[in-house]
Amino acid sequence: MDVVILMGSKSDMEFAKRIGKTLEKFGVEFCYRIASAHKTPEKVLEILKEYDDAVFITVAGRSNALSGFVDANTVSPVIACPPYSDRFAGMDILSSLRMPSGVAPLVVLEPENAAIAAVKILAIKRHELREMVAEYQRQKRLEIEEADANIRGTGHKSGT
């Protein structure tokens, strides 16, 4: 398994599917799992042992202990992708940003970008993924160029 998308609860599934959709575009093997650092820490540890060479993307909102717990218990890369919440004016994100020393999950807020980060990690050793990432980036640049070309010449000009 290349990537494990580990959710804190089933309510995170719709958000996690957005990560999976991007991973599918790159042909990256992934799976979804659910375990809670607060409620089922032993299960989290079992999952880490089962997929000891995967990249982990953790999806947990509110008090995101999952990302730090996973990172502290694996040497594999961990990408925290917490669902954004309007509750507490979005300040629950701080539980993903402030970690104890030696605990270093990467924090990426957008699901597509979390998937891209995982693919880039895998691409360090997989040439075909490097080429796919380069093409993805080229397409993103083209989108900007096309958007600019489409609006060029629009707007208001002052009288002459």
Q: Which two tokens stand for residue 33?
A: 């799992």
- Consecutive 10-residue averages of pLDDT for the chain (160 residues): 97 96 98 97 98 96 90 98 81 83 95 98 97 97 95 76
- The half-sphere exposure of 13 on its side-chain side, counting CA atoms within 13 A, is 6
Sequence ranges of the domains in the chain: 3-151
3-151 folds as: Rossmann fold (3.40.50)
Tens-place pLDDT, residues 21-51 = 999 999 999 999 999 999 999 999 999 999 9
For 122-144, b/e burial (b = at least 16 CB within 10 A) is bbeeeeebeebbeeeeeeeeeee
Enumerate helices (H) and strands (E) in the chain, giving the number of each. Answer: 6, 5
pLDDT at residue 123, as a whole number:
97
* Residues 19 and 45: beta-carbon distance below 8 Å: no
Annotated binding site for substrate: 9, 12, 36, 39, 61, 63
Residue ranges for the known binding site are: 9, 12, 36, 39, 61, 63
pLDDT at 67: 96
How far out from the chain centre does Cα 129 lie? 17
Buried b (16+ CB within 10 A) or exposed e, 49-62: eebeebbbbbbbbe
Predicted pLDDT of residue 159: 66
The helix/strand/coil state of 47 is: helix
